Amino acid sequence: MNKIILYNTGVLLGFQKVPERMQDSYTQAIAMMVKAIGNNVIISGCVVSGGAIGNGVVVINSKIMPFVGGALKTGIAETASSQNESYHTGGPKPLYVDVYAIPDDAGEPLTNFVRLSTAKAHYAHKSNPHEVTKAQVGLGNLPNAKSDSISLDSSDNLATGKAAKEVVSHLLDNVITGSVYIGDPEPEGIDGTDNYWVITHNIGHTNYVVALSYSTGKLGAETDGETDILLRLSDRGTNTMTVHVHELDDSDIKDITLHYFILKLS
């Protein structure tokens, strides 16, 4: 910051240049600080109450100045008043100029001003100072709440990743799978016989559903006869179930493996 030396002895020539340099020095320093704050900022005060706005301090036109309140207007404008001082020649001339801001409908719209307290809260991420809504950023359909529960039935909550993981874990914990090698379910010459296999699952109740399928150990054209198989579930018990295997055509020797998928519902 520029400065002047005030303690030299003797009579200083060019007196007007002294206050001019002083004014330029602090004006430059303040202008640099104002840049960090921004333009159109309410530093303090300017509280609106009814049809009036109170005194305060504002930044307008990149200058910091007092605000003289009064009747509420739609804008804020810079103004100035001056006082005369007698000069050695020429008589009284304007010397002291007071620059300040006032309510003015023709000035910068009041809605363009940001309060410094609001900006500071925004910088610190302590609040939502601009009161931005989810709809304004394209997220209006998202609920405000979240939940880790997998049983919550509410459209006002979003399920978390933890809830999704627990759903998968819950399903896997309630699934039983297995395979049983059957080979040829109906030996040649005993066509129409309904053979069965008892599968032990030890679930302890009958509230479950079963899906059955089979695969063949044969390859290529040898698998043609493997399509003549019917599967039927019976005796769905608390700890066992019975699978009936019916072969429509026993003209060839089958090579069948039975597969089951059990989903516990409780």
Domain boundaries, the chain: 38-124, 135-171, 174-264
SS (H, E, C) the chain: CCCCCCCCCCCCCCCCHHHHHHHHHHHHHHHHHHHHHCCCEEEEECCEECCEECCEEEEECCEEEEECCEECCCEEEEEEEEEEEEECCCEEEEEEEEEEEEECCCCEEHHHCEEHHHHHHHHHCCCCCCCCCCHHHCCCCCCCEEECCCCCCCCCEEECHHHHHHHHHHHHHCEEEEEEEEECCCCCCCCCCEEEEEEECCCCCCCEEEEEEEEECCCHHHHHHHHCEEEEEECCCCCEEEEEEEECCCCCCCCEEEEEEEEECC
* Residue 1 pLDDT greater than 50, yes or no: no
Give residue-wise pLDDT tens across range 153-190: 776 777 777 878 887 888 888 899 999 998 887 655 55
Give residue-wise pLDDT tens across range 223-246: 555 667 888 998 889 999 999 988
Four-way CATH pick for 174-264: 3.90.1330.10, 2.60.40.2080, 2.60.40.10, 3.10.20.740: 2.60.40.2080
Write down the pLDDT at residue 241.
Answer: 94
Confidence of residue 77 (pLDDT cuts 50, 70, 90): very high
pTM beyond cutoff 0.85: no
Summary mean pLDDT of the chain: 78
Higher pLDDT, residue 91 or 261: 261
Give residue-wise pLDDT tens across range 103-147: 999 999 988 888 877 666 655 555 555 566 666 666 666 666 677
* Residue 94 pLDDT greater than 60, yes or no: yes
Compute the average pLDDT of residues 95-103.
87
